[in-house]
């Protein structure tokens, strides 16, 4: 596989690539609505704790496997397992990761399609002068139109898969360089606006003053799932990127930098969105539409609102694009590892994801009441079970592999820190991350 010999151009490029994978719908769309449904501040606190205790150490485990293997996930796991004298069956973990991202990308693409629609609408000035109620009703009407959802889903998937077909390390680097600072700047601006609204104080206390009375096992499970989801950890997707990592880079620094950027994007988005929610008397538990309704309302009150709203949706779209590219990579790498050509692998992945995505697109209208499992429809299933269960489970196995199966020297080298750094990392993974993930998964499932 010649693609895996590609390298990111620099250390910075690697950090940007991982940040590009991490920062996406998870921070700006999913965090606010999941926090909204799970009580706010307590959820935030638990999720941040999970990022520190599980997310960062497991992210390091995942990337170091890719880096030591220098192959697609399945092949890397298989080779490293054999090297370590362990079972080749570890390679199925790569397949499990591919299945996880398959489910995730199917709804991710549909929701990213919403941003395309909203980008066009904001450029057209459709939100100008609209009241909060009208904006809310417009969103409902949009969801009830599967043709429109499918059109945007197709467009987004096409954008994603063309970059993937070309090989990720080339196109992505330049895009990320430009994108991340711009997105950050705009979120700062939005959060600045939020301070001027009536809802700002309520939003702050709702986000930062936890009341632990409402914390249930399910809240904890959601917070853990979200920590994995937002960091893009647990699906072997970052493993695929680790394969391109430059030799001399320190992994802990990179992982820490990415996690901090990722959390701060979510916080800025949360402050902006919840200030509007409370200023407009909306319900924080309004579900997946939360961001798509609050932000047009917020911007419509700002000078040059339509312009900023367009810029925002453009940036959101670009952020989701870089995440979706990362979501597609493990699937394509897996098929390629079976000896398929990159172009064919990409086409097969694109078609399968598109088909599964149709079920999500119809989940807001025709299939809204088709609830195959746990009383949830397809969109609700694929947007909750893979992030909340599959990612932590994948992350758990990844951590076990890196901290228990791989030989010491190999891990020390792939981590890019000295012996003492290695021992610290290994102890955290062995005695904190692995047991904690296990307990929360078990508690949440029971």
Q: Which residues pair with 373 in a beta bridge?
A: 376
Residues 211-230 that bind ligand PHE (CB under 6 A): 229-230
Helices 217-231 + 56-69 axis angle, to 10: 40
- Whose structure tokens read 């999720």? 47
If phi over 0 gives left and psi between -120 and 50 gives alpha, with beta otherwise, what is residue 234?
left
Token representation of residue 266: 């979510």
State how far the Cα of 126 lies from the Cα of 147, in Å rounded to an integer.
Answer: 20
Least distance in angstroms from the C-beta of 235 to ligand PHE: 5
Q: Cβ closer to ligand PHE: 3 or 62?
A: 62
Q: Cβ closer to ligand PHE: 231 or 279?
A: 231
Q: Does 232 bind ligand PHE (CB under 6 A)?
A: yes
Q: Does 24 bind ligand PHE (CB under 6 A)?
A: yes
Q: Cβ closer to ligand PHE: 102 or 193?
A: 102
Token representation of residue 20: 């590009």
State how far the Cα of 223 lies from the Cα of 326, in Å rounded to an integer.
Answer: 22
Choose the stretch contacting ligand PHE; rule: CB under 6 A; options: 128-136, 232-240, 243-251, 350-358. Answer: 232-240
Q: Who contacts 116 (Cβ-Cβ below 8 Å, separation ≥6)?
A: 152, 155, 156, 317
State how far the Cα of 16 lies from the Cα of 117, in Å rounded to an integer.
Answer: 27
Choose the stretch contacting ligand PHE; rule: CB under 6 A; options: 32-40, 56-64, 158-166, 321-329. Answer: 321-329
Q: Does 326 bind ligand PHE (CB under 6 A)?
A: yes
Q: Which runs of E-coded beta strand occur in 302-426?
A: none
Q: Cβ closer to ligand PHE: 135 or 333?
A: 333
Least distance in angstroms from the C-beta of 446 to ligand PHE: 25
Helices 342-362 + 146-166 axis angle, to 10: 160
Q: Does 4 bind ligand PHE (CB under 6 A)?
A: no
Q: Does 383 bind ligand PHE (CB under 6 A)?
A: no
Going residue by residue from 327 to 346, which x/- string records binding to ligand PHE, judged by CB under 6 A? Answer: x-------------------
Q: Which residue is nearest to ligand PHE (CB)?
A: 26
Choose the stretch contacting ligand PHE; rule: CB under 6 A; options: 6-14, 18-26, 87-95, 299-307. Answer: 18-26
Helices 305-337 + 342-362 axis angle, to 10: 130
State how far the Cα of 68 lies from the Cα of 134, in Å rounded to an integer.
Answer: 54
Q: Which residues pair with 376 in a beta bridge?
A: 373
340 HSE (CA, 13 A, CB side): 17
**Under 8 Å between Cβ of 316 and 111:** no
**Under 8 Å between Cβ of 349 and 161:** yes
State how far the Cα of 331 lies from the Cα of 165, in Å rounded to an integer.
Answer: 12
Q: Which residues pair with 397 in a beta bridge?
A: none
Q: Helices (H) and strands (E) in the chain — how many of each? A: 23, 0
Q: Does 44 bind ligand PHE (CB under 6 A)?
A: no
Residues 93-152 that bind ligand PHE (CB under 6 A): 101, 104
Q: Cβ closer to ligand PHE: 237 or 268?
A: 237
Give the residue, chosen from 235, 254, 273, 295, that forms a contact with ligand PHE under the rule CB under 6 A: 235
Q: Does 27 bind ligand PHE (CB under 6 A)?
A: yes
Q: Cβ closer to ligand PHE: 122 or 230?
A: 230
Q: Does 50 bind ligand PHE (CB under 6 A)?
A: no
Choose the stretch contacting ligand PHE; rule: CB under 6 A; options: 16-24, 122-130, 286-294, 300-308. Answer: 16-24
Choose the stretch contacting ligand PHE; rule: CB under 6 A; options: 20-28, 68-76, 151-159, 332-340. Answer: 20-28
Give the residue, chosen from 237, 255, 358, 378, that forms a contact with ligand PHE under the rule CB under 6 A: 237
State how far the Cα of 126 lies from the Cα of 14, in Å rounded to an integer.
Answer: 39
Q: Does 393 bind ligand PHE (CB under 6 A)?
A: no
Q: Does 284 bind ligand PHE (CB under 6 A)?
A: no
Least distance in angstroms from the C-beta of 300 to ligand PHE: 26
Q: Does 176 bind ligand PHE (CB under 6 A)?
A: no
Q: Does 441 bind ligand PHE (CB under 6 A)?
A: no
Q: What is the binding site for ligand PHE (CB under 6 A)?
A: 21-22, 24-27, 101, 104, 229-230, 232, 235, 237, 323, 326-327
């Amino acid at each position: 596989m010649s693609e895996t010999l590609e390298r990111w151009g620099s250390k910075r490029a690697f950090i940007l690539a991982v940040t590009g994978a991490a920062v996406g719908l998870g921070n700006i769309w999913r965090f606010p609505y999941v926090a909204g449904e799970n009580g706010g501040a307590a959820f935030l606190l638990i999720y941040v704790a999970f990022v520190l205790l599980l997310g960062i150490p497991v992210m390091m485990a995942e990337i170091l496997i890719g880096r030591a293997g220098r192959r697609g996930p399945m092949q890397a796991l298989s080779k490293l397992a054999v090297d370590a004298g362990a079972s080749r069956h570890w390679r199925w973990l790569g397949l499990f990761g591919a299945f996880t991202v398959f489910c995730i990308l199917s709804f991710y693409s549909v929701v990213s399609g919403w941003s395309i629609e909203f980008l066009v609408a904001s450029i057209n000035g459709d939100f100008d002068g609209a009241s909060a109620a009208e904006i809310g009703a417009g969103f409902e009407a949009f969801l009830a139109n599967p043709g429109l959802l499918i059109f945007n889903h197709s467009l987004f998937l096409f954008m994603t898969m063309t970059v993937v077909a070309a090989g990720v390390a080339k196109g992505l680097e330049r895009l990320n360089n430009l994108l991340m600072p711009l997105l950050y700047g705009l979120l700062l601006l939005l959060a600045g606006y939020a301070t001027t609204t009536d809802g700002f104080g309520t939003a702050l206390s709702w986000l930062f003053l936890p009341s632990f009375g409402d914390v249930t096992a399910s809240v904890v499970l959601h917070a853990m799932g979200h920590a994995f989801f937002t960091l893009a950890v647990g699906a072997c997707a970052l493993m695929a990127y680790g394969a391109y990592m430059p030799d001399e880079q320190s992994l802990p620094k990179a992982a820490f930098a990415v996690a901090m950027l990722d959390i701060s994007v979510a916080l800025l988005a949360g402050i902006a969105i919840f200030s509007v929610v409370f200023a407009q008397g909306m319900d924080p538990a309004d579900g997946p539409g939360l961001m798509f309704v609050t932000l047009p309302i917020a911007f419509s009150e700002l000078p040059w609102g339509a312009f900023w709203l367009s810029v925002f949706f453009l940036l959101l779209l670009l952020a989701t694009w870089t995440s979706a590219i990362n979501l597609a990579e493990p699937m394509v790498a897996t098929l390629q590892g079976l000896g398929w050509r990159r172009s064919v692998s990409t086409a097969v992945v694109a078609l399968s994801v598109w088909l599964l995505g149709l079920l999500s697109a119809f989940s807001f209208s025709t299939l809204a009441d088709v609830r195959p499992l746990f009383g949830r429809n397809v969109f609700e299933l694929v947007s909750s079970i893979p992030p909340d269960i599959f990612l932590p489970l994948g992350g758990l196995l990844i951590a076990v592999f890196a901290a228990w199966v791989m030989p010491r020297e190999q891990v020390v080298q792939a981590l890019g820190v000295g012996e003492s750094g290695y021992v610290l990392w290994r102890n955290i993974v062995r005695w904190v991350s692995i047991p904690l993930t296990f307990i929360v998964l078990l508690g949440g499932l029971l």
